[in-house]
Amino acid sequence: EPLRVFATGGCHVDPNIRHLEGAEAFDTANILVDFEGGVVASIDVCRKAVYGYDQRAELLGTEGMMQSENLFPTTVRKATADWFGHADKPHDFFMNRYAVAYETETAAFARAITDGAQVPVDGWDGVRSLRLPPAPGERGPPGGRGGIDEITP
């Protein structure tokens, strides 16, 4: 379970959004989440990546590493004297990026309704997420830092 969150952000890429309220005016943010047992998660986000929508995850541990890469429309790669990489940009629409997740979620919901199976995520997961400190620019302690017990929905 998360214990503490520190979040900070700003408008560094798109000056056209500076007039928006709260966190909507941020195009770049960094988040640190302290978990029980000393694990720390680091999240870096930016609304703009010139090469397409970028969403990756990485887990580092004392016995190895695990990565989740961007999803691309094809597996085609391009290689030249100056560059090697995917020929396509990553999927840029959430329905394309998360199609399998939506199918899996819908199937789990159907099993819960028809067979009484447990759902992988329940209402308590939603309640716990609301107890986390808010995004930069939203209500919360000065500097965006606070313990889970200090901030309630």
- Give the model confidence (pLDDT) of 114-141 as tens digits: 999 998 888 888 787 777 655 444 544 4
Torsion, CA 31, CA 34, CA 40, CA 44, rounded to 10? -10
* Residues 56-86: tens digit of each pLDDT: 788 888 888 888 888 888 889 888 999 888 8
Q: What is the CA radius of gyration of the chain?
A: 19
CA distances (Å), 4 to each of 61, 92, 105, in order? 20, 31, 28
Q: Got the DSSP string for 11-66?
A: -SS-GGGTTS-GGGG-SEEEEEEEEGGG-EEEEEEES--TTS----EEEEETTEEE
CA dist., res. 88 & res. 43, Å (int)? 25
DSSP letter (8 states) at residue 129: H
Q: Could you report how far apart the first and last alpha carbons of the chain are, in Å?
A: 17
Structure-block tokens of residue 23:
């966190």
pTM of structure: 0.60
Amino acid at 108: A
Q: Within 10 A of 133 (CB to CB), how many other CB atoms are there?
A: 23
* Residues 83-119: tens digit of each pLDDT: 888 888 888 777 888 888 889 999 999 999 999 999 8
